[in-house]
Chains A and B, each alone.
Chain A
Amino acid sequence: MRIALLVTCLNEALFPRAGMAVVTVLERLGHTVAFPPEQTCCGQLHANTGYAAPARELERHTEAAFAGHDVIVTPSGSCAAHLRAHTELPVYELSELLVDVLGVTDVGARFPHRVTYHPTCHGLRMLRLGDRPQRLLRAVSGLELVDLPEPEQCCGFGGTFALKNPGVSGAMLADKCANAVSTGAEYLAAADNSCLAHIGGGLARRPGAPKPVHYAEILAGTGAAA
């Protein structure tokens, strides 16, 4: 299958390994990945911060960039949710593509580590990913998946919320980090690098805390390297 990758602006700017991981996984499964070069940002940041007109322009820009592609994958639950709500693009979050479209749960990865999974709000409540990411992770050779307490609680990122309401965001982050640390996991995985940048930034200040990793990187078998 020919699959177009929407890498997302955040991943391009700060976390390109998530995009690389998606390419690695899909190519290993025998699919062809395309990278439409005009893509930049889906408009979510602008829309949620209160800027409807620029958001619409970026949504239209993204539609044009992906015109003609039948299957689009992105390693971001929130961007997938935004585009599904505001455009006609056939966008899938990675676990939806793998489990629902390609019918795969074992992607042939190896990651011999203890991992806990944080289901991000967009994945949990907008996309209703359910346990798709966890099913993919459980099929990874050597991986031990441990439950995160209070998984459904938001981490406190919320886009510009983290900057506009730093106190509340910090309090939510502290609770999420404490739950993550309590698992004794080596890695905390999630489906969105925006939440992971926030949680990971908090975990970096806590000795012995799990390291943040996008679950695509685990599926690519490259998560331990870096």
Chain B
Amino acid sequence: MSRHLPIVAVTPFPAAAAHELKDAQLRANLGRATRTIRDKRARVVAEVPDWEELRERAARTKDEVLDRLPELLARFERAAAAAGASVHHAADAAAANAIVAELVRAQGADRVVKIKSMATQEIGLNEALAEAGITAIETDLAELIVQLADDTPSHILVPAIHYNRSQIREIFAARMPGFSAESDEPAVLAGAAREYLRRTFLSAEVAVCGANFAVAETGSLVIVESEGNGRMCLTLPGTLIAVVGVEKLLPRMADLGDFLRLLPRSSTGERMNPYTSVFTGVTPDDGPRRLHIVLLDNGRTKTAQDPVGRAALRCIRCSACLNVCPVYERTGGHAYGSVYPGPIGAILSPQLTGQDAGANSSLPFASTLCGACYDVCPVKIDIPEILVHLRQTGPKPAAERAAMATLSWVMRDRRRWRGALRAARTGAVPLRALTRRRGGTLRRAPWPVSAWTAHRDAPLPPPESFRDWWRRTHAE
């Protein structure tokens, strides 16, 4: 396959980040947006007295799904089929794309309307459909903005987070037929999208969606949204095709109670999103006459085998971890080279693809391990733990391996350690004299210390070691 896979980073994260960091407007947009959503989330989470128990329970429910995956998948398939849905299985992106393209063609349609879906982005469905002569129209406002701009999403929940309102107005003015508004008020821009898409919804024959949850007990799918574009796609076209990652399962309908309390608060910082649709198979005279559900694996079963890394599959795509991540806030989503950016992307993309894919092994290092992501995760994914786990299991440069081996050899013996420190202190003597006027820190240094002094002064070893001081002051 020649097409670029949407979850494989081409450029290593540090280089991609360096590129994004040059864009001051981007950083201002991201800073403002993530700060807004962080504050909103904190307010609505504080309202829930049993938030921690809720997280615990949701994590356990998702772990149960991973433990019982084959059984629950079979149960879901039976229930959905009994309710009139056709269920398909796709081992990878290519298989899923081929199934969807064939289903669209079977309806004689040359275009589909789409609900925002991470699974379809992960498999590059729009591009695959385009190759098959089918136009995919994104109907979520942010996805529409990104599609009109010929750009790629930079956030899981808010794909156009990297644009501010005036940039969005410019995109609409250049690319949206009939758009003429002078104002960049969000209400005006949203109104323009409503006008633009209304005809499309009323004439669409096929819709494509993902699912936030799939209930094994009943074969139901759940779509959580805000704008109503989802409801349009779920009820107007005669054929609905849902692409659903196998980890989206919940065992029981009653489990939705916890997850619908967790997801909106974590993602948009609302107590509840405007619209949640739960539907089971097809219903006579209401909604689509044909429902196809494509269950997507694409690396998930393999990821579920890793006892540490599997927790990443609990993810419900709320993007709270992106909004609190200091790295994401500086670089935006594009630096991660995957449709899954931020902390969750740094553990999800390399696991779904394997760490040898493209530059994905650089992603687990795109974090300071500050832990803010773990604190806000509604399903308690210990992202720092998985980042460290992936660093330990992934490839590392030979020079670094040698240096770390030497360092640990030195540190395993106190005489070698003391000798190394003594050598460092001796080496620092002339430098100390040179830097005294500035408070004893080093401004410029040769490689490899230059990587440090590019952004900050380096400290110098002290004249007297702790051990010497200890011996001097605590001699028996």
Footprint of B on A, CB under 8 Å?
Answer: 7, 9, 11-17, 19-20, 23, 35, 37-41, 45-52, 54-55, 57-58, 61, 121-122, 124-126, 152-154, 156-173, 197-198, 200-202, 204-205, 211
Contacts and interface: CB of A to CB of B under 8 A. Distances in A.
Interface stretch (B81-89, B98-106, B146-154, B371-379): B371-379
B464 A58 contact: no
A167 B14 contact: yes
Looking at B13, B404, B439, B455, the one whose CB has the most chain A CB atoms below 10 A away is B455
Given A35-B474, A40-B414, A41-B411, A158 B457 contact: no
A14 B465 CA distance: 9
Given A48-B388, A168-B21, A14 B464 contact: no
A11 B465 CA distance: 9
Given A15-B462, A39-B414, A125-B371, A20 B469 contact: yes
A168 B372 contact: no
Contacts of A46: 404, 407-408
A40 B326 CA distance: 31
Given A55-B408, A61-B411, A125-B374, 4 more contacts: A40-B411, A165-B327, A170-B456, A200-B457
A50 B456 contact: no
A50 B424 contact: no
A156 to B, nearest CB: 6
A170 B392 CA distance: 25
Contacts of B441: 200-201, 204
Q: How would you classify the secondary structure of chain B's contact residues: helix, strand, loop or mixed? A: helix
Nearest to A154: B370
B375 A168 contact: no
Contact of A54 (B408, B439, B456): B408
B465 A12 contact: yes
B388 A47 contact: yes
Contacts of A37: 414, 467
B455 A168 contact: no
A47 B396 CA distance: 13
B461 A170 contact: no
Interface in B397-447: 400-401, 404-405, 407-408, 411-414, 417, 421, 424, 438-439, 441, 443
A51 B417 contact: no
A125 B452 CA distance: 26
B368 interface: yes
A168 B466 contact: no
A161 B368 CA distance: 6
Given A7-B466, A16-B462, A57-B412, A165 B404 contact: no
Closest 7 CB pairs of A and B: A158-B368, A201-B456, A50-B391, A54-B408, A170-B455, A154-B370, A16-B466
B370 to A, nearest CB: 4
B388 A161 contact: no
Nearest to B404: A51
Given A13-B421, A14-B462, A166-B14, A173 B371 contact: no
B367 A158 contact: yes
A125 B384 CA distance: 11
Interface of B: 13-14, 17-18, 21, 27, 326-327, 330-331, 364-372, 374-375, 388, 391-392, 394, 396, 400-401, 404-405, 407-408, 411-414, 417, 421, 424, 438-439, 441, 443, 448, 451-462, 464-467, 469-470, 474
Contacts of A125: 370-372, 374-375
A73 B408 CA distance: 23
A159 B437 CA distance: 28
B465 A48 contact: no
Contacts of A50: 364-365, 388, 391-392, 394, 396
A146 B355 CA distance: 45
B457 A156 contact: no
Contact of A164 (B365, B413, B462): B365
A16 B375 CA distance: 33
Contacts of B452: 162-163, 201
Contact of B17 (A45, A163, A167): A167
Given A162-B452, A201-B452, A9 B368 contact: no
Given A16-B462, A50-B396, A58-B412, A170 B454 contact: yes
A205 B372 contact: no
A23 to B, nearest CB: 8
Contacts of A160: 365
Contacts of A124: 371
Contacts of B462: 14-17
B459 A172 contact: no
26 contacts: A9-B417, A11-B466, A13-B461, A14-B459, A14-B462, A16-B464, A16-B469, A35-B470, A46-B404, A46-B408, A50-B365, A51-B392, A51-B396, A121-B372, A125-B375, A154-B370, A158-B370, A160-B365, A161-B365, A164-B365, A167-B17, A169-B368, A173-B455, A197-B458, A200-B457, A201-B457
B331 A126 contact: no
Contacts of A200: 441, 456-457, 459
Contact of A201 (B326, B394, B458, B461): B458
Looking at A7, A12, A165, the one whose CB has the most chain B CB atoms below 10 A away is A165
